[in-house]
Amino acid sequence: MSDKLTVTMPSDLDVKMVRVFDAPRALVFEAHSKCEHIKHWWGRGNPLDCELDFRPGGTWRFVEHAPDGEAYAFHGEFREIQAPERIVQTFEFEGMPGHVCVETLELTEEGGKTTVTSVTRFDTKEERDGMVATGMSDGAGESYDALDQYLAKLS
Amino acid sequence: MDRLSEVFSALADPTRRAILARLAEGEATVNQLAEPFPISLQAVSKHLKVLERAGLITRGKEAQWRPCRLDAGPLREVADWVAAYERFWEQRYEHLGEYLQKLQKHGTPQEERDE
């Protein structure tokens, strides 16, 4: 198993990220659930202000202080928490307000290693209003692969 | 709705993504675009309007013909957004991996007292 992050866009506009950590699941979950831990990694090495109310319906807000003096603020709300295997939360970058993502984290453990699978869905207004049929028919899968490859070429 | 949201909304439909994938191969008329789908020309026209409003396609001016063309600009914005998101998470997880190693070496979180 690789410890590198793999990224795919499996359907619609989901972004799926998979990362294996050499640590038991309870510890990886714990590292997601308390500011004292989150401060050590979420800021990517930068100082981080952390507010966290880790319960369903609770909110979180992180402010990352970049070396250039800029502060980047993010916030969201916990929609679902099932220790130690699943967290569903919203994610919004305050620099681009209105772009709300829904992140679903699934943690599985095998042989002392923990796989974190995160699926992020861009939450469009249509989706919130239930106007868009989500999911995808098999027939559209191939054409989506083509678009995916096209996007890959662009980036 | 701002542009990026409009683009994401437009892309959230499989038929519209299929239309874009077809247009990535070259311009096409409404009739040509409708061919692979079991839906009416009118329905395809509706999808084209959504794509046009999001700036993902442009349409020719000739009244009868009006070929559709892909405009890659907004797709690039989406790709940039996704790329930035991924890069941030790559760095975060890199730090989480190191932090977890440290935690395991120096004891359980409860024993961690260096805060």
Q: Where are the domains of chain A?
A: 6-124
Q: Which residues contact A96 (CB under 8 A, 6 or more apart)?
A: B4
Cα–Cα distance measured from residue B8 to residue A140, given in angstroms and rounded to the nearest whole number = 17
Contacts of B113 in chain A (CB under 8 A): none
- Peptide bond preceding A84 in cis form (omega within 30 of 0): yes
Contact A143 B8 (CB under 8 A): no
What is the domain partition of chain B in residue ranges?
3-73, 74-106
The predicted pLDDT at position B114 comes to 47
Q: Running DSSP on this structure, what letter comes out for residue A43?
A: T
- Tokens at A58, concatenated: 């609770």
pLDDT of residue A136: 33
Query: What is the rounded radius of gyration, in angstroms, for the C-alpha atoms of chain A?
Result: 17
- Residue B111 pLDDT exceeds 50: no
CA B44 to centroid of chain Cα atoms = 20
In the DSSP assignment, the letter for residue B111 is G
Task: Output the pLDDT for position B47.
Answer: 94
Residue B24 in contact with partner chain A when CB distance is under 8 A:
yes
Residue A60's SS3 state is: strand
Residue B98, C-beta contacts closer than 8 angstroms, at least 6 positions apart = A41
Q: Angle of helix B72-105 relative to helix A25-33, nearest 10 degrees?
A: 110
Give the pLDDT confidence score for residue A12 in this predicted structure: 54
For residue A51, what are the β-bridge partners? A61
For residue B72, what is the enclosing H or E element?
helix B72-105
Residues in B 38-97 with any Cβ partner in A closer than 8 A = 72, 75-76, 78-80, 82-83, 85-86, 88-97
A23, A36, A147: residue with CB nearest B115: A36
Residues of A in contact with B22 (CB under 8 A): 143
The per-residue pLDDT for A15 is: 80
How far apart are the C-alpha atoms of B50 and B28, rounded to whole Å?
Answer: 17
Q: Do A41 and B75 touch (CB under 8 A)?
A: no
Interface contact A22-B86, CB threshold 8 A = no
Q: What is the CATH number of domain B3-73?
A: 1.10.10.10
pLDDT at position B83: 81
* Chains A, B: CB pairs < 8 Å: 134
Per residue in B82-109, pLDDT tens?
788 888 999 999 999 999 999 999 865 4
Measured between beta carbons, the chain B residues lying within 8 angstroms of A9 are 82
Residues A126, A64: Cα–Cα separation, whole Å: 31
Query: How much is the average pLDDT of B72-80?
Result: 79
Q: Residues of chain B with pLDDT > 90: what percent?
A: 35
Q: Which of A29-32's residues contact partners 24+ apart within 8 Å by CB, and which partners?
A: A29/A83, A29/A84, A29/A85, A29/A87, A29/A107, A30/A84, A30/B109, A31/B96, A31/B99, A31/B100, A31/B103, A31/B109, A32/A87, A32/A105
Taking 70 as the pLDDT cut, the residues of chain A under it are 1-13, 123-155
| Optimal mutation site among B4, B6, B7, B9, interface A, most CBs of chain A within 10 A | B9
State both tokens at A131. 């106007």
CATH topology of domain A6-124: Alpha-D-Glucose-1,6-Bisphosphate; Chain A, domain 4 (3.30.530)
Give chain B's radius of gyration (CA, Å).
23
